[in-house]
Amino acid sequence: MTPDMIYGAAGIAVFGIGLVGALCAQDRLRRVLALKLCSVGAGFLLLVGAWREPPGTPDPVPHALVITGIVVMVSATAVALALIRRLHSLEAEDER
């Protein structure tokens, strides 16, 4: 039972949960959140790959990749949320 095994399993589970949410969620906001969960799952996988024994001597490259992934994901989230807001306003206008 090393941290990499434990968190690797958790990461894959989180990815799967996010996948379910991304496919099934009806609420637009919830779908964005589900996608964010997927990205955290992928982050876990990379970080687990970087884990080395003894603890505290990880491979730094995946760390950099995950940081990049986080920034990319926040950009995508921001655009998706802007689309949701805009669509909501447009739909409200159309109803009037």
Partner 1 sequence: MIDPLVIFDLLLALGIVALAVAALATRESFAMIVVFIVFGLVSALAWVRLSAPDVALAEAAIGTGVTGALLLKTLHHLRCATGQPGQNATQAQISAPPVPVGVTLANAAFCGLITLGLAVAFLGAPAAGPGFEGLVAQAMPQSGVEHPVTAVLLNFRAYDTLMEVVVLLAAVIAVWQIERGLSDAPAPVMGEVWQGFARLALPAIVVVGTYLLWVGAEAPGGAFQGGAVLAAVGLLLLLTRAYVPQPAHRGIARGAFVLGTAAFALVALLVASGGRVAFEYPLAHAKTLILLIEGMVTLSIAVTLAALFHGREPMALKHEGKDDT
Partner 2 sequence: MSVDLSPVMLSIFLPLFGAIVAFMLPRAAGAIGLATLALTTGAVIALARDVLINGAAILPLGGWGAPLGIDLRADGLSVAMLGLSCAVGLLVSLSALSSLRGPEDARQRQYFWPLWLLLLTGMNGVYLSTDIFNLYVMIEVIALAAVGLTVLSGTTAAVRAGLEYMYASILGALLFLMGVGFIYLQLGRLDFAGLAEAEPTGALIAAIALMFVGLALKTALFPLHFWLPAAHANASAPASALLSGLVVKAALYIVLRLAQHMPFPSETFLTLVGVMGAGAVIWGSIQALRAERLKLLVAWSTVAQIGLIFVAFARAGEQGLSESWKAAALLILAHGVAKAAMFLAAGRIKDEIGHDVIRDLDRAPIRPTLAQFTFALAAISLIGLPPSLGFIGKWALMEGAMAAGYWHWVGVTMAGTLLSVAYFSRVFAGFLRFDRVRAPVGEHQGWALADAAPLTLAMMAIALGLMAAPLLGFLEIGYALGEAK
How far, in Å, CA of 40 to CA of 77, rounded?
13
If the CB atoms of residues 9 and 87 are measured against partner 2, the closer one turns out to be 87
Q: How far is the CB of 16 from partner 1 (least distance, A)?
A: 3
Of the candidates 25, 41, 17, the residue with the CA atom closest to the CA atom of residue 84 = 25
Which of positions 54-83 make contact with partner 1 (CB under 8 A)? 55-68, 70-79, 81-83
How far, in Å, CA of 11 to CA of 46, rounded?
9
Which of positions 23-62 make contact with partner 2 (CB under 8 A)? 28, 31, 35, 38-39, 41-42, 45-46, 48-49, 59, 61-62
